[in-house]
Amino acid sequence: MLQSPNVAGFSSSSITRVILQGVNLEELRIEYTQRTLNESDVDPDPIRQFETWLEEAIQAGLREPTAMALATATPDGVPSCRMVLLKGVDCLGFRFYTNYESRKGRELALNPHAALVFYWAELERQVRVTGQVAKLSRQESDAYFQSRPLRSRLAALASRQSQPLSNREELERRMAELEQRYGRGGLVPLPENWGGYCLKPNSIEFWQGRRSRLHDRILYTLSDEGKWKITRLSP
C-alpha cells in the first residue's frame, strides 16, 4: 500500500509513512563499512584523485562506471537532471556528448553552469562536480562521432532529441531510411546539432560512506589563483 503525504500542506503532521508492498521505506538502510577517506590519503589534484577512483570502479567490474547524473538549469533556476556517460577527463575537465537541441543543450546554451554526480554504490562512493560548461571544437566532436558504432551514429541522425514523437514507428522509420543510405559503409556526417561539451570544474567533492552515517566528505575548491584547496566537510 502506498500512503502519500498531503502535498498541499507539507507540514510535519501531514506527512505519513510510505509503505510499498509491506516495506516501510523509512526503515530501508544499510551500513557503509568498506573504506575510509582521509585528507592525508587523497591526491592534491582532484582530477588525479578522480581518475584513481574511476579506475577502481572499472577494475571492480561495475556496470556503467562512467555513468553520471548531469544537472542543468534554466536562466531562472528551474533544474533538470538526467544520466549521461563520461567520455573523457583530463586537466581541462569532464567531457560528454549530446544533441545541442536537447533540453540539456538548450539549457546549457542559456545557462552554462552545471553539476555532475557519479555514484558507485558497490564501492560506497560518490563524487560531485560543479563548474562551467563549454562546447568542444567541431574537430574533436567529429573525431569522437566517427569512432562510435555505425548504428549509434545513425541514431544521432534519426533522433530529434527531447522533441515530441508521434509514435515509435516514426523513429524506427527514420532509422531504417538512414540504414538504407549509410548501411553499406561510407562516412556518416556529423550532425550540425550534435557534439561535445567540457565541464571545467570549480569544485569536486569525494564522498565515502561510513558506519552510522558518519561519512567522509573531502571537498576541493578552486581558488582565484587556480590552486585547489582541500576541506573536510561534516557528513
Q: Locate cell 560543479: which residue?
A: 130
Residue 141 cell numbers, joined: 566532436
Instruction: Tell me, yes or no, if 48 is annotated catalytic.
Output: no
| 7-28 tens-digit pLDDT | 555 555 445 667 778 788 888 8
Catalytic site residue from 17, 213, 217, 232: 213
Regarding whether 55 and 3 lie in a shared domain, the answer is: no
Give CA–CA dist 104/194, Å, rounded.
12
Total structural domains within the chain = 2
For 10, the domain range is 1-30
Give CA–CA dist 109/111, Å, rounded.
6
Regarding whether 63 and 130 lie in a shared domain, the answer is: yes
Supply the pLDDT for residue 25.
85
What CATH number is attached to the domain comprising 164?
2.30.110.10
Q: Locate cell 530529434: which residue?
A: 160
Regarding whether 110 and 43 lie in a shared domain, the answer is: yes
pTM of this structure: 0.88
Regarding whether 37 and 21 lie in a shared domain, the answer is: no
Regarding whether 53 and 19 lie in a shared domain, the answer is: no
- pLDDT less than 50: residues of the chain: 1-2, 4-5, 13-14
Q: Locate cell 586537466: which residue?
A: 91
Give CA–CA dist 80/98, Å, rounded.
15
Regarding whether 197 and 90 lie in a shared domain, the answer is: yes
